[in-house]
Structure 1
Amino acid sequence: MHFLKSNKIKLLLCSLIGVNLLANSSFDEEILSDSRKKTFTLDEKQAKEDSAKLKKDWINPITLQYKKNLGDDYKGETSLISINQPIFQSGGIYQAIKYANSTYKYSNLQIQQQRKLLIKDALNLLFQIKKLDLNIQKTKLTLANAKIDVTRKKEQVLNGFLDSSFLDNALLTLNSSKHTLVDLKYQKQELINSFNNIAAGDYKQFKLPNFELISKKEFLEKNIELDKAKASIEKNKNYSYMTMARYLPSVNVFYNYSKTHYTDGKPKAGQTNEQTYGLSISMPLDSRAFNDIESKRIEYLKSKLNLKNKIDDEKSFFKTKIDKLNMLNERLKITKEDLALYNSILKIIKEEKEAQIKTQSDYDTLKNSRDIKFLDEKIYKIDKQIILLDMYAKIF
């Protein structure tokens, strides 16, 4: 099966199975509503602007000041321009730029992860709706069998072959199946409402994707969570060096220009101009410096440990999903064996029905039971796709 259009799902699957093709991320977003897609676009723009701002944080603002004296003794105007700009901060300027770049990389990965998770939610809802459709079909078959059983038990009770308690139990089973069908229909509508909240259109216009399994190596190499952890290491490393540089010598260039114009009240003084410029060297002596530097260094070390923990977590996640897939494969194997058995028995029942040894209700009951097993097989396959979807949401 294909998701949306065939060329789009091919790109989706390429990202899953590790084929080296250039996938357009907009294809992934086709299932999302315009407002959801616009939110991610704005998040990306904001991350870019925040990074640009961080790159300029080491540049001090130019101070412009204007004063007008309205006193009785001296009336005049003063204009002031002041610049105090660092040109060397013991590597702090270079680290500040690197920190801005690493922060942008981390933010971008976060946005990509959020986008992936929302697409996963939409696809998961599609799978769950399809699964409920199959369960509704199963319940309808169970309901049909329950009606046949009630009819059969009713005849047997009226003819004195069975106690009325058997009929009562059959009626309870029939009633339970009816309530189950009502509940399933309500659950389906709930899922449809949730899907409409994030999707670009009606769920019926989308078809289910077909995911394939990737290797453990590919899963770890393309894992967004691990890339985020690596980006966090780089970000904290740059911030640690940047913090250290704050407490090291800094060379600044400064320039001050002042112009004052007196209108009256001060003899022999109509206007004054003053300017100073030069270099200054400073080094803060802060009692908290060591604590600040050490705290940032510890944060950096924690992020390195976090990567090791994340690798273990993702390995465990992968193994858990593989184990669950294996369990479903075993269930599929059993279901296929059951289907083969049902088909062989159904063939015999059909022959006996034609020979008037068995009734039509006997044949219908067994056929419904066979069809339930067939639907079970489809449900297990959807469960496998949901597991693979969980894995897809974690990789590029």
Structure 2
Amino acid sequence: MHFLKSLSKLLLGSLLLSNLQASNNFDEEILSDTRKKTFDLNEEQIKEDSLKLKKDWINPINLQYTKYLGEDYKNEKSLISINQPIFRSGGIYQAIKYADSTYDSSSIQINQERKKLIKEAINFLYLIEKTNLNIKKTKLSVLNAQIDVNRKKEQVLNGFLDSSFLDNALLTLNDSKQSLITLKYQKIEYINNFNNISSKDYSEFELPKFEFFDEKEYIQRNIDLAKAKADIIKDENFKAITIAKYLPSVNAFYNYSKNHYTNGKPGLENSYEQDFGLTVTLPLDSRTFNDIESKKIEALKSKLSYKNKIDDEKTFYKNQVQKVNMLEERIAITKEDLGLYNSILTIIKEEKEAQLKTQSDLDTLQNSQKIKSLDLKIFEIDRQMELLELYVKLK
């Protein structure tokens, strides 16, 4: 698989990749052009929104032009008006900080969405490979079922078994064939889902191999917790903006107007007026206390949400560890089974040479051994899929 080195920064943190050829553009390569463009536009939008928020405290300059039409003379009038806050009890500074914190929160959210989509694509790669292994397993089961049908058929014809045994063997063979058909179409579905996300064919990618990392690192580098932290800062800044809204503010104003008489009528000369100064405002609103308290509660909720999120992520980590441990136990048991199959195969081969066992007996056992080997690979894929659920949350 062509994996970009920056995937470890973007998606997988400190993962260990085994026998992989690194690529510099994995995240850009695995996503379709339209999805990449969507993320790019989202990033541009939050930048513009943040810049707009930073400038929200700056009032517009009003320019007005009026033309009066009358019978005696024509008059044109220009007006420039500026009313700009220069002090809002800290509100201007907090508004700028709020814009920055809003950008940080939104940026992390986009990063979360991008990583989840990459993780989804990787997950489909795992599912496709897992289905390939299951197809191989089922084909071997079909071979074994066919061997069993032939054996039962011979035994029934020779009067050694009741026909019900042959019926059961035929049913097993039919079930295996039906399962094979289901798996083939399931693989097509996974490929279609992958193609819905990716810009390249699934066969161009290999599977990554992830390793464990400790809970401390998981919590420190958890992107969901980073988002919750950013939300705390954002809500605190918004609370400060709300409080400042009800405190004294100082505005500087400037007004300039000019009359332009255009027909040169005697006694009517061009004239202009201008005034400027400062205004101090203290808003009195019956809803002040409620508004401020509401924002304080929102900020407290963000802090509690962060603490709850830490507990949630610790629990999630422990549950994933348990799932991986369970799969590792299954892998260990399967390896023991393979050891038994190897020892039994040695005996069966010797008995076949001594004509105590048939070729069918040997083929059946060899197919069963191959099925166990495939089980081992499937369990390892399941293990990697569980680890992927952890890695996707690393920033």
Q: Secondary structure at the match of 1:268?
A: coil
Residue type of the alignment partner of 1:29: E
Aligned counterpart, 1:111: 110
Instruction: Return the offset for 1:123.
Output: 0.4
Q: What letter matches 1:197 in structure 2?
A: N
Which residue of structure 2 aligns with residue 350 of structure 1? 349
Instruction: Assess if the C-alpha contact under 8 Å between 1:243 and 1:296 holds in 2.
Output: yes
With the length of structure 2 as denominator, give the TM-score of the two structures. 0.94
Determine if contact 1:59/1:86 at 8 Å carries over to the other structure. Answer: yes
Which position in structure 1 is the counterpart of 2:230?
231
The runs of 4+ residues in structure 1 deviating greater than 3 Å are: 5-14, 23-29, 71-75, 262-267
Question: Hey, what's the Cα distance between the residues in 2 that align with 1:267 and 1:166?
Answer: 124
2:71 matches 1:41: no
Name the SS for the 2:56 alignment partner.
Answer: coil
Which residue number corresponds to residue 253 of structure 1?
Answer: 252
State the match for 1:392 in structure 2: 391
1:4 corresponds to which of 2, 8, 20: 2
Rounded to whole Å, the distance in 2 between the matches of 1:200 and 1:55 is: 37
Task: Give the aligned partner of residue 63 of structure 1.
Answer: 62
* Cα 1:9–1:70 shift into 2, 3 Å: closer
- Give the Cα–Cα distance (whole angstroms) in 2 for the partners of residues 296 and 74 of structure 1: 58
Question: What residue identity is the alignment partner of 1:4?
Answer: H
Matching residue of 1:243? 242
Which residue number in structure 2 is paired with residue 361 of structure 1?
A: 360
**Alpha carbons 1:86, 1:251 under 8 Å: kept:** yes
- Residue of structure 2 equivalent to 1:296: 295
**Rounded Cα–Cα distance in structure 1 between residues aligned with 2:61 and 2:3:** 56
- Counterpart of 1:16? 14
Q: What are the equivalent positions in structure 2 for 1:80-159 lying under 5 Å apart?
A: 80-159=79-158
Decide whether the 8 Å contact of 1:16 with 1:212 is kept in 2: no
Distance 1:18 1:135 in 2: 27
Q: Report the alpha carbon displacement of residue 76 of structure 1 after superposing the two structures with TM.
A: 1.4
For the Cα contact (< 8 Å) 1:75–1:265, is it kept in 2? no
Give the deviation of 1:177 after TM superposition. 0.7
For 2:53 and 2:189, how far apart are their aligned partners in 1? 45
Q: Does 1:205 align with 2:185?
A: no
Distance 1:192 1:73 in 2: 82
Residues 220-261 of structure 1: per-residue CA shift (max 9 Å, x gap): 000000000000000000000011101110001000001122
* Counterpart Cα distance in 2 of 1:43 and 1:30: 19
Query: 1:75 is matched with which residue?
Result: 74
Q: Tell me, which stretches of 5 or more residues in structure 2 are unaligned?
A: none
Instruction: Please tell me the root mean square deviation across aligned C-alpha atoms, in Å.
Output: 2.2
Aligned equivalents of 1:36, 1:314: Cα separation in 2: 28
CA distance in 1 between counterparts of 2:126 and 2:300 reads 42
Identical residues among aligned pairs (%) = 65
TM-score, scaled to structure 1: 0.94
Tell me the amino acid that sits aligned with residue 257 of structure 2. Answer: S
Residues 13 and 212, structure 1, Cα contact 8 Å, conserved in 2: no
Alpha-carbon shift at residue 46 of structure 1 (Å): 1.2
Residues 9-29 of structure 1 show CA distances to partners (whole Å, capped at 9, x for unaligned) of 77789723499xxx9984433
- Which amino acid in structure 2 is aligned with residue 367 of structure 1? Q
Distance 1:89 1:16, change over 3 A: same
Per the TM alignment, residue 265 of structure 1 is displaced from its structure 2 partner at its CA by 11
- TM-superposed deviation, 1:284: 1.1
Preserved CA contact (<8 Å) 1:18 1:214: no
SS of the residue 2:2 aligns to: coil
Q: Structure 1 unaligned segments of length 5 or more: list them.
A: none
Q: Which amino acid aligns with 1:63?
A: N
> 2:374 is matched with which residue?
375
Shift of the 48–141 alpha-carbon distance from structure 1 to 2, 3 Å rule, reads same
For 1:306-325, list aligned pairs within 5 A.
306-325=305-324
Alpha-carbon distance in structure 1 between the residues aligned to 2:71 and 2:135: 92
Looking at structure 2, the residues matched to 187 and 130 of structure 1 have their Cα atoms a distance apart, in angstroms, of: 12
Name the residue aligned to 2:172. Answer: 173
SS at match of 1:256: strand
